[in-house]
Amino acid sequence: MMSQPQIHFLGDGALQCSLSPPATLKHQQRIWHIAEQAATWPEVAEVVPGMNNLTLIMHRPVSDFDSVTKRILETWPKGDSGGIAGRDIEIPVVYGGSAGPDLDVVARHTGLSTKEVIARHSNGQYVVYFIGFQPGFAYMGGLDPTLATPRQSQPRLSVAAGSIGIGGEQTGIYPQSSPGGWQVLGRTALSLFDPAKNPPTLLRAGDRVRFTVERIAK
Amino acid sequence: MIEILQPGILSSVQDLGRYGQRQLGIHPGGALNTLALISANLLVGNPREAAGLEITMGACEMRFRCDTRFALTGDDFDARLDGKAIAPYWSTPVRAGQKLKLSHCSRDGTPAIRTYLALAGGIATPVVLGSRSTDLKAGFGGHQGRALRKGDRLPLGEMRSALERIGGPAFGVRSPHWNGLAALPYDSSEHLTLRVLPGPEFEQFTVAARQSLWQEKWRITPNSNRMGYRLEGPELKRKLSRDLLSHGVVPGVIQVPPSGKPIILMGDAQTTGGYPKIGVVISADMWKLAQAPLNAQLQLQLCDLEQALHASTEQQDYLHQMEQTLAALDWSRASQYRK
């Protein structure tokens, strides 16, 4: 039996539904499913899945929070817990060298050779839990726990677009050049966010991601 | 077309925002004071959602390259058209070649922060992902995805209404302040009152923190921008230390990082966050925050959902009334009184 979410007002135009930790993929699949349903409700303008939670942004003027709350609670236990139809996406990566300035840091921290770090990272099967923080930034689960490495104590002022990094137990890709504290292993030439495209982001919640070794730079 | 002679500190093309794509990490952005932008648009005969300029801290200068009509709303930066004073919330016809200049402070020297400029036809930069707003952080939308620079030329759209609107006289409307929308019982010249709903994690804060939230004054620090306003005041302590999982956030959210110093999220805030949310400023008061100058003192006032929705209705009534009044103007008659 799936536990019911806690529902809170997030100001006068949004509702936030969250499940008790720990976060699991099974819970997240339910979140995607409810998000997909809720996006079709007439009162709901936008849905924002988070990590084991879901925010519903209402159309204004907001008339009836109660009916939406009731509908969430009714919908939650029902339906497919298999989530939504995610896509399989391969991301070619140049590991190491100037593309991956922190590959050595991760090797040292984990006690693995750089080759082994690359092998374990590119063997992983990752799932996009949700997109947030920046346009197209995917929060992914599935990192081999032996690769977990803390963030840098002092974030870099600029991390190149397409950089693939490890931050704690997560791995992710920087869609745009930005400041950042993740340990950067490599870089992809794929565009993660292009406002001229439809859809503008390469990834979306529910996608399954594999990193392939395009090249190992010296 | 208008030509930017001096952009000021931060001027950008903004409309009512980019909606529907938060789940791709794209924030709504748009004018921080939508009430002001909508008012300015209505004053020049534009639809509510037309794009205009958001000008931060004044000191902006531009030349009109065509006959048009403009309106300035929000703060007053002692605007002058070829040296002649132009009041905010006025709609003014203008000829090609005329120059509009905003000072760096208001006429009476009171601190000011943002002004909005609407032009008949709206600013016609390309629509990107459903909006003309500039996403300054991700670098797209607006004019070349960036803040305006000296020499930029901005195209204007087709005018919706008859040409006599341009030729008609200047006229003004009551600002939201005059209409009583800004004045709350506890407002004073020293501080601005914002109505706040308790946030999802309100109960996780200590009794002392919850009391200080309502009782203390909060100063807007200069380290504030379109993403968020950082407030200075007593440290707000949480009873729990457990981190929250990343979750959706909206403008108005008052989040409290481990430092205990609250941040109010504004239109350019990221779509998800991880800090506990002690409260959320009601949407009807967000325009006041957009106009609150740096170092302003805020008084946060507890309110309930019913009051929040009522305040939204009042604001919509103000705009609706303006829309009705302007629609009823007899432009052909008004032009008889020119000059």
Q: Phi, psi at residue B231, to the nearest 5°?
A: -105, 145
Is residue B331 pLDDT above 70, yes or no?
Answer: no
At residue B337, the pLDDT reads 40
| Of B19, B253, B272, Cβ closest to residue A50 | B272
Q: Phi, psi at residue B228, to the nearest 5°?
A: -170, 155
| Of A10, A47, A132, Cβ closest to residue B25 | A132
In eight-state DSSP terms, residue B274 is -
Q: Which amino acid is at B215?
A: Q
> Using an 8 Å Cβ cutoff, are B153 and B65 in contact?
yes
SS (H, E, C) chain A: CCCCCEEEECCCCEEEEECCCCCCHHHHHHHHHHHHHHCCCCCEEEEEECCCEEEEEECCCCCCHHHHHHHHHHHCCCCCCCCCCCCEEEEEEEECHHHCCCHHHHHHHHCCCHHHHHHHHHHCCEEEEEECCCCCCEEEECCCHHHCECCCCCCEEEECCCEEEEEECEEEECCCCEEECCEEEEECCCCCECCCCCCCECCCCCCEEEEEEEEECC
Taking CB atoms and an 8 Å cutoff, what residues of chain B touch A54?
A: 248
- Mutating which of B18, B23, B289 best tests the A interface, going by the most A Cβ atoms within 10 A? B23
At residue B242, the pLDDT reads 81
CB pairs under 8 A between A and B: 141
Beta carbons within 8 Å of A83's beta carbon, 6+ residues apart: A28, A29, A30, A32, A33, A206
Is residue B201 pLDDT above 80, yes or no?
Answer: yes
Q: Partners of A130 in the beta sheet?
A: A139
The distance of B308 to chain A (nearest Cα, Å) reads 6
- Mutating which of A10, A15, A28, A173 best tests the B interface, going by the most B Cβ atoms within 10 A? A10
| Nearest-angstrom CA–CA distance, A89 and B215 | 52
The tokens of B36 are what? 């002001």
Q: Give yes or no for a cis peptide into A199 (omega within 30° of 0).
A: yes
Domains in chain A and their CATH numbers? 6-75 (3.30.1360.40), 88-216 (2.40.100.10)
At residue A194, the pLDDT reads 95
Look at A205 and B270 and tell me if their CB atoms are within 8 Å: no
- Mutating which of A12, A36, A128, A174 best tests the B interface, going by the most B Cβ atoms within 10 A? A12
Look at B23 and A51 and tell me if their CB atoms are within 8 Å: no
Look at A11 and B197 and tell me if their CB atoms are within 8 Å: yes
Largest CA distance in chain B: 70
What kind of architecture, by CATH, is found in domain B191-303? Beta Barrel (2.40)
Look at B272 and A23 and tell me if their CB atoms are within 8 Å: no
Below-70 pLDDT ranges, chain A: 1-2, 79-83
Look at A139 and B246 and tell me if their CB atoms are within 8 Å: yes
Model confidence over B106-165: pLDDT tens digits? Answer: 888 888 899 999 999 999 999 999 999 999 999 999 999 999 999 999 999 987 665 556
Whether chain B has a CB inside 8 Å of the CB on A134: the answer is yes
| Of B22, B139, B280, Cβ closest to residue A48 | B22
ipTM: 0.92
Look at B23 and A46 and tell me if their CB atoms are within 8 Å: yes
In eight-state DSSP terms, residue B101 is E
Look at A61 and B312 and tell me if their CB atoms are within 8 Å: yes
Map residue B323 onto helix, strand or coil: helix
Q: Closest by alpha carbon to A213, among A128, A124, A142?
A: A124
Least confident of B83-97, B237-251, B318-332: B318-332
At residue B335, the pLDDT reads 47
Model confidence over B280-317: pLDDT tens digits? Answer: 999 999 999 999 999 999 999 999 999 999 999 999 99
Look at B248 and A45 and tell me if their CB atoms are within 8 Å: no
At residue B184, the pLDDT reads 59
Q: Give yes or no for a cis peptide into B93 (omega within 30° of 0).
A: no
At residue A50, the pLDDT reads 95
The tokens of B224 are what? 């504030």
At residue B146, the pLDDT reads 98
At residue A218, the pLDDT reads 83
| Nearest-angstrom CA–CA distance, A56 and A50 | 11
Question: Locate tokens 């003004």: which residue?
Answer: B172
| Among chain A residues, CA nearest to B22 | A48
> Using an 8 Å Cβ cutoff, are A57 and A14 in contact?
yes
Least confident of A85-99, B166-180, B188-202: B166-180
Query: Can you tell me the mean pLDDT for B67-85?
Result: 95
Taking CB atoms and an 8 Å cutoff, what residues of chain B touch A14?
A: 248, 250
Taking CB atoms and an 8 Å cutoff, what residues of chain A touch B283?
A: 11-13, 60
**Helices H / strands E in chain B, number of each:** 6, 21
**Burial label, B272 (beta-carbon count in 10 A; 0-12, 13-18, 19+):** buried
Question: Locate tokens 């709901």: which residue?
Answer: A44
At residue A65, the pLDDT reads 87
Whether chain B has a CB inside 8 Å of the CB on A53: the answer is yes
The pTM (predicted TM-score) of the whole model is: 0.93
Whether chain B has a CB inside 8 Å of the CB on A10: the answer is yes
At residue B117, the pLDDT reads 98
**Burial label, A20 (beta-carbon count in 10 A; 0-12, 13-18, 19+):** exposed
Taking CB atoms and an 8 Å cutoff, what residues of chain A touch B137?
A: 134
Query: Can you tell me the mean pLDDT for B183-206?
Result: 84
Look at A136 and B283 and tell me if their CB atoms are within 8 Å: no
Taking CB atoms and an 8 Å cutoff, what residues of chain A touch B138?
A: 134-135, 176, 193, 195
Domain range summary for chain B, segments of one domain joined by +? 2-179, 191-303
Map residue B261 onto helix, strand or coil: coil
pLDDT band at B327 (very low <50, low <70, confident <90, very high): confident
Look at A12 and B312 and tell me if their CB atoms are within 8 Å: yes
| Nearest-angstrom CA–CA distance, A20 and A52 | 8
**Burial label, B94 (beta-carbon count in 10 A; 0-12, 13-18, 19+):** buried
Q: Phi, psi at residue B140, to the nearest 5°?
A: -145, 170
User: Angle A114-123/A103-110 helices, nearest 10 degrees?
Assistant: 100
The distance of A72 to chain B (nearest Cα, Å) reads 17
| Of B138, B248, B313, Cβ closest to residue A50 | B248
The distance of B80 to chain A (nearest Cα, Å) reads 37
At residue B336, the pLDDT reads 42
Largest CA distance in chain A: 60
Query: Can you tell me the mean pLDDT for B73-93?
Result: 95
In degrees, to the nearest 5, what angle opens at C-alpha A204 toward C-alphas A202 and A209?
75
Query: Can you tell me the mean pLDDT for B176-195?
Result: 73
pLDDT band at B183 (very low <50, low <70, confident <90, very high): low
Taking CB atoms and an 8 Å cutoff, what residues of chain B touch A13?
A: 250, 283
Beta carbons within 8 Å of A40's beta carbon, 6+ residues apart: none
